[in-house]
A and B are shown apart, each in its own frame.
Chain A
Amino acid sequence: MAKAGEGRTGRTDMGKGIPGKEAGKRPKILLLGNPQVGKTALWSELSEGRRSPFRSEGEIMEVRRAPILLRGETFELIDPPGIQSLALDMEEVHLVKRILLAEGPAIILLVVDAKNLKRGLMLYLEAMELQLPLVMAINMNDEARQRGITVDPRAASSLLGIEACLTSALEGEGISTLRRCLAHATPPARRAIYPGSIQRSLEELAAQLGGEGPARFLCLLLYSGDREARNSLASWWGAEKAEALSRRIAQVQSQFNLPLSLVMAEARLRAAEDLREQFVQVMPSRRVPFADKVDRWIRTPPTGFLAFALILILLFLFVGRFGAGTLGWLFQDQFFNRVAIPACTALVRPLQWPFLEGMLVGPFGLISMGLSAALGLILPILGTFFFFVALLEDSGYISRLGVLLHRLFKHVGLNGKAVLTIFLGFSCVTMAILTTRLLDSKKERLIATFLLVLVPCSAQLSAIFALAPALPISGFAFVVLFVFLFGLGMGAIANRLVPGLGSDFLMEVFPLRIPRIKDVLLKTYFRIFWFLKEAVPLFLLGTLILFLSNEIGLLYSIERLAKPLVTGLFGLPPEATDVFMMGFIRKEGAVPILRNMVEAGRLNHVQVVISLILTTLFIPCISTTLVVLKQQGLKNALYIMGAILILCVATGGILNSLFRLAGITF
């Protein structure tokens, strides 16, 4: 939520004519556009690789920034998430508005999809009110041509009074023209598009408030019923003016049956249709492209489920066989076990200092356990997993999975839109919990958070992949099936228990396309970079804590304390306590200890199954716990964590006794 103070800075910034021109600050160019119109590809083409790794802002959404050179001046090119409209009440929209108002960009680069100009123009009609220099990049022109859509950029340019050009960011077409356009950016021509009484009062109020761009835009937001704008109204203009303004808006509203926001949105839609008529020609082709057929297959049962199963099998082969198998063998067995660890041992041993030797290359050594596990065992699994996920994300498959799985999700109180959130959980639960904010209702956010704590993240998946060879296929299948059904069952129960309503399912299904390997590799690289930066230090810290507790005998005491639970109830050897402790610090941490125990023959199949299920389903790591606390508040966080703890103990105990009674050994 923008505080009043942020709004105020925004206003003063924007009031200075060309904003962002103060000394020491680079002027900014803001990319604005609907989702999936190729904004990021354009950003990457324009910035010519001089980009810094994504910095995430507002915690969930990636905002990319890069310097670009224009007219001999360096600008900062900002690429926030795509939005439908600036007047909608959604997280992404608020983020874009905050950037608009607080950073005061000098130029707006509006990216529109040539195939879908109507929606781009609707956004244009909102951005027009900013009265900032604006350039329109009519992107994806290649795809538009294939569909018989011809756009006349010159007609667009003279009609709207701005620079406009055709681009195909993925092909790198039109980039130099776009640079020229940016150098000559002008504010768009104003046009009256709203019903008479709204338009008149809008002009009148904007004039009273200073008349210039920001005032008009803020008035537009106020008329659209924007929550943040309304909240910060009094601090912008003083209580008295704000009061008068609210009265005036209420007066206009009384003339319409529908909320003004809706009346205005419809007016924009009609105006966009009219504008489009004037520079777009469509020659519809009867031919159904092959891609549309594929699209249909993967969206509808039964072919859709077959495709999903195929993807899961591919995922298993790629991550399990290639990542954990081949690459893991190369990294861990060949590099760490054969070269790095012996070399370090050889270096340390002559010092005759057992404490240091233990700390570096002992059973809980920073190198022998910490680094070797992080880089040798986990990195190959995570890397291949991230690559596969990025491939799926960029192909547009995830939203189709939403269509396919919507009914299943309905049972657990969520809808098809949540598929993306849950899917992210398989990469990192913490990150995914942050994105629950994108869900529409409170109930959905709570249920999704609860389920995400149960969802195995890539770290926990890597445990399954790493230990899969040690288990017979029946044991492996049992773990996977149990985790899946358990999540489903818990979701169904949560759906009954949590009060409130879900939301209506409405989601855009983006065009299916072949992902660009360059983008996929870039995404994979950034995520691996993030893993190395965020996770590895914690991982090493965890190893160090474990090593020190072992040295002073604390580990033994904790193991003894937890013995009735771990050994008695779960039927696991006492060292299994280390697995849970390490897992809490960083989930990946559970993997090497577990694997060492398996390799040392300390666990039988039943014990492997139980410890895998417990580490996979439960034990949220520190960062997950903190995020749950922050997002859901203390009360809900206690509910969630309490439920998880009870479920964990119960599941472990019940499974252990069941296996024993039934004599199952896998």
Chain B
Amino acid sequence: MLQRKAEEVLEAIWTAEEKGKRSQEQVQEEAQVELDESLLEELTGNGLITREEDGLHFTAQGRGEAEHIVRRHRLAERLLNDVLGMKAEETESNACEFEHAVVPEVTESICTLLGHPKECPHGSPIPAGTCCKEARHVVEKVVVSLNQLSSGESACIAYINTKKHALLHKLVAFGLCPGVQIRVHQKSPSFVVQCDQTQLALEAEVAADIFVWRPSES
């Protein structure tokens, strides 16, 4: 995951490019953050942009990243505007927060929920995602309990829904907590899961309390 500031810069370059501009000053006008030298160095170093005489250019990888960021931002604006009834001018700052926080699976679900919109409330185009290309029209539940995964699948823990603090504490001590990748080895006679190099056996009742982001199909 890129740093927040870096994401802002990529977004600014994208917006400037849409307007046919690319010099550093023009990009700075679009950006929410200071385009300082170290930040640009970092982006070049990561192979996301190149700096040429006429201004800032994306590399192929940088373009991909920027596309995702812009897509998340504009989808967020649509969500706030269409579903929550926020005015277009108010959506901007909220959407800015949103774009950094949303994971890809959720982006797809929001897009599907909104019916794959083509433009943001301000009229800028929203880059299409896989869900748009496949023209999905049903939102898949993104967060499911661990026992809905099949064995061999990996997923990221979203939250652990239990009132038993002692159990929770033990799980944390074994390295299990939200944000951690977990892999289901087997589901019967009891669950065996792996997290890093720790293999844990647990019963179905405990597995039912652990919720994960549904793994993407890829």
Residues in chain A within 8 A of chain B (CB atoms): 84-85, 87-89, 113, 115-116, 118-119, 122, 147, 258-259, 261-262, 265-266, 269, 296, 299-301, 399, 402-407, 410, 415-416, 504-511
Once bound together, how far apart are the Cα atoms of A147 and B196, in whole Å?
Answer: 11
Once bound together, how far apart are the Cα atoms of A415 and B205, in whole Å?
Answer: 12
Q: Quick check: is B185 within 8 A (CB to CB) of the other chain? A: yes
Assuming the contacts A406-B190, A416-B201, asked whether A265 and B169 have C-beta atoms less than 8 A apart, the reply is yes
B16-53 vs A, CB cutoff 8 Å, 1 = contact: the mask equals 00000000000000000000000000000000000000
For the complex of A and B, the 7 pairs showing the least CB-CB separation, nearest first, are: A505-B203, A84-B173, A509-B199, A406-B190, A115-B197, A116-B197, A265-B172
Interface set, chain B 127-155, CB cutoff 8 A to A: none
Once bound together, how far apart are the Cα atoms of A262 and B167, in whole Å?
Answer: 10
The interface residues of chain B lying within 8 Å CB-to-CB of A509 are 192, 199-201
Q: Name A440's closest neighbour in chain B (CB-CB).
A: B166
Q: What secondary structure prevails in chain B residues at the interface with A?
A: mixed
Are B190's CB and A416's CB within 8 A?
A: yes
The interface residues of chain B lying within 8 Å CB-to-CB of A262 are 165, 168-169, 172
Interface set, chain B 161-176, CB cutoff 8 A to A: 164-175
Are B175's CB and A269's CB within 8 A?
A: yes
Q: Name A265's closest neighbour in chain B (CB-CB).
A: B172
The interface residues of chain B lying within 8 Å CB-to-CB of A511 are 197, 199
Once bound together, how far apart are the Cα atoms of A399 and B169, in whole Å?
Answer: 21
A258 to chain B, nearest CB (A): 7
Are A118's CB and B199's CB within 8 A?
A: no
Q: Quick check: is B177 within 8 A (CB to CB) of the other chain? A: yes
Are A404's CB and B189's CB within 8 A?
A: yes
Are A296's CB and B186's CB within 8 A?
A: yes
Are B164's CB and A504's CB within 8 A?
A: yes
Are A505's CB and B198's CB within 8 A?
A: no
Q: Name B198's closest neighbour in chain A (CB-CB).
A: A116
Assuming the contacts A269-B177, A416-B190, asked whether A506 and B172 have C-beta atoms less than 8 A apart, the reply is no
Are A506's CB and B201's CB within 8 A?
A: yes
13 more A-B residue pairs beyond the given contacts A85-B173, A266-B177, with a C-beta to C-beta distance below 8 A: A88-B169, A258-B168, A265-B172, A265-B173, A300-B189, A403-B189, A415-B203, A504-B164, A504-B202, A505-B201, A506-B171, A507-B202, A509-B192
Once bound together, how far apart are the Cα atoms of A510 and B173, in whole Å?
Answer: 15
Assuming the contacts A402-B201, A403-B190, asked whether A506 and B175 have C-beta atoms less than 8 A apart, the reply is no
Are B201's CB and A403's CB within 8 A?
A: yes
B78 to chain A, nearest CB (A): 32
The interface residues of chain B lying within 8 Å CB-to-CB of A508 are 174, 198-201
**8 A-B contact pairs sorted by A residue (CB < 8 Å):** A119-B175, A269-B172, A403-B190, A407-B189, A504-B206, A505-B190, A505-B202, A506-B202
The interface residues of chain B lying within 8 Å CB-to-CB of A147 are 197
Are A504's CB and B205's CB within 8 A?
A: yes
Once bound together, how far apart are the Cα atoms of A158 and B98, in whole Å?
Answer: 38
Q: Quick check: is B188 within 8 A (CB to CB) of the other chain? A: yes
B142 to chain A, nearest CB (A): 23
B137 to chain A, nearest CB (A): 35
B22 to chain A, nearest CB (A): 34
Assuming the contacts A84-B170, A261-B169, asked whether A399 and B201 have C-beta atoms less than 8 A apart, the reply is yes
Are B167's CB and A506's CB within 8 A?
A: yes
The interface residues of chain B lying within 8 Å CB-to-CB of A507 are 200-202
Are B201's CB and A406's CB within 8 A?
A: yes
The interface residues of chain A lying within 8 Å CB-to-CB of B174 are 84, 119, 506, 508
Assuming the contacts A84-B170, A122-B175, A508-B174, asked whether A406 and B200 have C-beta atoms less than 8 A apart, the reply is no
The interface residues of chain B lying within 8 Å CB-to-CB of A510 are 199
Once bound together, how far apart are the Cα atoms of A493 and B177, in whole Å?
Answer: 38
Once bound together, how far apart are the Cα atoms of A118 and B164, in whole Å?
Answer: 24
